[in-house]
Structure formats: C-alpha cells, structure tokens
Amino acid sequence: MRRAGIRPNESTHVTVLSACAQSGDLTTEERIKTWIVLRNLSSNVRLVNALIDMYSKCNKLDKARSLFDNMINMNIVTWNVMIGGYTHTHRYKESLEFFRTMLQSNYEANEVMVRYRYTVLNKVRRDVQSSKSTAPFFYFFYF
C-alpha cells in the first residue's frame, strides 16, 4: 500500500488486527497500536475493540482487560469481544461474571451474548458431569 502511495485507514487497521488475531502475530499488532496512539485514535471504539479481540485471541487477556478498563466510550460490541475473549481462553467463570457485570451496567444482552453464555454454561455443565463434583454445580445458580 505504501509503495502505491495509499495511506491505510481505520478499516485497513481493523482488518489487519483481525489477521493478527488469527495468526497470533503480535509484532504487527505493536506497530498498529503505535499508529493508533500517535494519531490520537485511542478513543476510536472500533479500533480498540479490534485490539481487545486480537489480544484475547492471542491469549493476552491482561492487555485486553487493561484496554477495556481504560475505555471511556464503549458499546455492546466491546462487551461481546471481552466476554468472547474469556470464553475463547476457557476462563468460563470470568466470562459469566463479566456477563453479569454487563447486565448490571444497563447493557442488554444481544444474540452474540446469549450464544456465549450458553456455550459457557454447556462447557461448565460437561466439566461438572465429567468430574462428578457437585461444588461447581452451585455456580449455575449464581447467575
């Protein structure tokens, strides 16, 4: 793109961050994050959501959570991405807790959220059944 004199825009960077998430390429991600910071785009919800998603898929949930916690403007996609990150990394308890926090924050669950929640509950149920433990079972009633 640079050789052709074309400057990347927000959509370009969101797409590249998605590719980084799929490939686990954190080197390219750091360059894009620097680009975001240098251009004062840290409040761009779409770009930050893409960063959170990328960090989550690369098992860097601490970085994803830090971005989430520092966001001033967020939307339901931001919550979806973070809950999906916890689900993706098999941190089901955190995923359900985050879902509950989202509901308490006056966000309504959309179809994606409901799907994540059912996925998590099914995995927890299978874990309980396979371990024959009753302790985790009570976690269902917490939500």
Q: Which of 73, 97, 130 is the last residue of a domain?
A: 73
**Structure tokens, 72:** 């001033």
pLDDT of 142 reads 44
Residues 87 and 108 in one domain: yes
Q: Rounded CA gap, 66 and 16, in Å?
A: 21
Q: What does the pLDDT look like over 6-63, one tens digit per residue? A: 777 777 777 777 777 777 767 777 777 777 777 776 778 988 898 898 888 888 899 9
Please classify residue 128 by burial: count the beta carbons closer than 10 Å to its beta carbon, then call 0-12 exposed, 13-18 middle and 19+ buried: middle
Among 73, 91, 118, residue at a domain's last position? 73
Task: Tell me which of 38, 73, 108 is where a domain ends.
Answer: 73
Q: What is the pLDDT of residue 64?
A: 92
Number of domains the chain contains:
2
CA 117/CA 97 separation, integer angstroms: 10
CA distance 29 to 19: 10
For the stretch 86-121, pLDDT in tens is 888 888 888 888 888 888 888 877 776 667 666 766
Q: How high is the pLDDT of residue 66?
A: 92
pTM value is 0.72
Q: Are residues 121 and 83 in the same domain?
A: yes
Residues 15 and 80 in one domain: no
Please tell me whether residues 27 and 54 are part of one structural domain: yes
